[in-house]
Structure 1
């Protein structure tokens, strides 16, 4: 029996500064289900099932995303990475860290001991 299982997802928005519309302004944006999913996952850019980590799935998803951005005529890509592993994966893809917000600097009492999720990094790369 052939079973299919969702093991990874990449959600992104491709915008071009020269266009007034983004790619979600088409017929698919009328779907209430799609709008709901996008709202829920607005901050979850790449998610890979923990049982399938270490197989470079994040890198492969990012490569597809970059190629799609290039096809739309974009010359740069950026993301916010909120953990050690996501930052590491993006650096492997040629992205650079442009700025970091280290949480403990803003609130030592509530934002200490966050482990690998101790910062948010703005990362980008030219396409």
Structure 2
């Protein structure tokens, strides 16, 4: 039996860790190891996000899907301090201009959301 799993390159891990803050690093890396097609998306996303949320922090976290017990997704949280209406409008534009072009496979495993700091 041959192991055909693709593992994440150390260079990709290093780059992704420079772009994002991991919440539960081991879980995120294990998820990416199982879903390597997300790596190019994660490498491209920050430049796209910065166009709409220039001063944001980006976090990655593996979270169970609320609708399915056995399903988990990688969540990219955009931490920013915009007015909620403005933030949602910008997220909608981001989705229209970039996220919608991503494959169905990516959409099944990856989700982008907004997050506000506690002191906001």
> Scaled by the length of structure 1, what TM-score is found?
0.26
Q: Max radius of gyration: which structure?
A: 1
Name the structure with the higher helix share.
2
TM-score normalised per structure 2: 0.27
